[in-house]
Amino acid sequence: MEDQVQKAVNEAVAQFGGIDILVNNASAINLVNTETLTMKSFDLMHGINSRGTFLCSKLCIPYLSKSANPHILNISPPLSMRQRWFKDHVGYTMAKYGMSMCVLGMSPELAKYGIAVNALWPRTAILTAAMKMLAGGDEVASQCRKPEIMADAAYLVLTKDSRTFSGQFCIDDDVLRREGGLTDKDLEQYSCVPGGQLLPDFFLDEPDAAKPAATSASSGAQSGQQQPGADVEASMKHLATAIDAEAVGLVKGLVELQLTDLNRSWLLNLKSMPGGLSEIRPGDSGSTEKPDTCMTMKSADLQQLVSGKLSATGAFMAGKLRITGNMGVAMKLEKVFRKAVAASSAKL
């Protein structure tokens, strides 16, 4: 790999006469826990994210140091020691934070050459191919911003004086407000669907960019609405109506759904027809097959999913939904939840 990167650097220098900017963007992602993550996947993430960033930066230093305004920009998040960013996918977080640690260490180290080293991260979900795969289709667009917001923010960072702007962990819309003078109204141009409720991205500790309506579930006692868990049976009935030949053909897996606050679990058979949904009773052997995926959440969040007030993608990214096992199976469940929402709405 090192020889390949060196070859690419040499070819860039030969073609363009030098290197002014390095953007470390390539990343590998596998959002599973320690028990599930294979060492092959662990090594892939660390090889691309942490090692790749370090290697590309190292090999570009001799050429960046000759530039009038040299920049290294890592597409990585601000560092945080909150457990929520580690507990469900520590392998991925370590790899991604490795990129950010390069910013932390290289920015003072390379200041003697006038090389700026900064990080840029999106506040909200960006509509990429990976996001479409995670959410199960283009429907997630209403909750995302366009990739152009990152491109425009990167331009503003990369055109600043490298000797006075370094070691910064930048957020895309903050950069556009501060450096570009954009207002909240101006930022609407980056929304895939103007006015849509945006999903907050991973790793940001500040209040969510678009707080899901699930907060209403916690205030039900004061407002007179249903208590969390009060109507879980109805939620399960609506979810059962979404299990059909189309859902089975899409997911092709067994899913265990655990409601932590009720200490109850259900098995969704989305592997073979006729499919089905059944509660796993204590002491029950249940299915002879081990579930491909386990989804863990609170009953109030499940009710928000089935009522359409919270998307599965949004729940996952906000830490309300934990997924272990086959992530590929889990990624396809968004459409099943949307069908349950339609069934729920039809009853209103």
CA distance 262 to 116: 51
Q: Higher-confidence residue: 222 or 237? A: 237
- How confident is the prediction for the chain on average, in pLDDT? 86
Q: Higher-confidence residue: 335 or 270? A: 270
Predicted local confidence at residue 344, as pLDDT = 61
pLDDT-based confidence at residue 339 (cuts at 50, 70, 90) = confident
Predicted local confidence at residue 210, as pLDDT = 42
Q: Determine contact, residues 292/252, Cβ cutoff 8 Å.
A: no
Range in 226-235, 295-304, 334-343 with the lowest mean pLDDT: 226-235
CA distance 93 to 202: 10
pLDDT (tens digit per residue) in 59-108: 999 999 999 999 999 999 999 999 989 988 999 999 999 999 999 999 99
CA distance 203 to 6: 32
Residues written for the chain: 348
**DSSP letters of 285-327?**
---SSPPSEEEEE-HHHHHHHHHTSS-HHHHHHTTS-EEEE-H
Task: Kindly list the domain boundaries of the chain, sorted by start residue.
Answer: 1-190, 231-343
Distance of CA 123 to the CA centre of its chain: 11
CATH H-level superfamily of 1-190: NAD(P)-binding Rossmann-like Domain (3.40.50.720)
pLDDT (tens digit per residue) in 243-294: 989 888 888 889 999 999 999 999 999 999 988 999 998 766 555 678 988 8
CA distance 159 to 162: 8
CA distance 210 to 256: 29
CA distance 204 to 1: 32
Predicted local confidence at residue 92, as pLDDT = 96
Q: Determine contact, residues 292/326, Cβ cutoff 8 Å.
A: yes
Distance of CA 63 to the CA centre of its chain: 34
Percent of the chain at pLDDT exceeding 70:
86
Rg of the Cα atoms in the chain: 23
- Catalytic residue positions, numbered: 92
pLDDT-based confidence at residue 133 (cuts at 50, 70, 90) = low
Predicted local confidence at residue 200, as pLDDT = 87
Token pair for 45 = 């993430």
Q: Higher-confidence residue: 96 or 313? A: 96
Contacts of 222-227 with C-beta under 8 Å, sequence gap 24+, read: 226/303
Q: Determine contact, residues 272/288, Cβ cutoff 8 Å.
A: no
Q: Higher-confidence residue: 179 or 218? A: 179
Q: Determine contact, residues 241/211, Cβ cutoff 8 Å.
A: no
Of 140, 148, 153, 139, nearest to 189 by C-alpha is 148
Average pLDDT over residues 14-26: 97
User: 3-class SS at 344?
Assistant: helix
Predicted local confidence at residue 221, as pLDDT = 36
Q: Higher-confidence residue: 247 or 311? A: 247
Percent of the chain at pLDDT exceeding 90:
54
pLDDT (tens digit per residue) in 183-218: 999 999 999 998 888 888 989 975 544 433 333 333
Residues 6+ apart with CB under 8 A from 326: 253, 292, 293
Q: Determine contact, residues 304/238, Cβ cutoff 8 Å.
A: no
Average pLDDT over residues 143-147: 92
C-alpha distances out from residue 53 to 6, 38, 59, 180, 312, Å: 13, 22, 10, 28, 31
**H or E element that contains 57:** helix 52-64
Q: What is the pTM of this model?
A: 0.75
Which CATH code for domain 231-343?
Answer: 3.30.1050.10
Q: Higher-confidence residue: 321 or 55? A: 55
Question: CA angle 318-268-255, nearest 5°?
Answer: 55
Predicted local confidence at residue 332, as pLDDT = 76
CA distance 124 to 187: 12
- Would you say the CATH fold of 231-343 matches that of 1-190? no
pLDDT-based confidence at residue 320 (cuts at 50, 70, 90) = confident
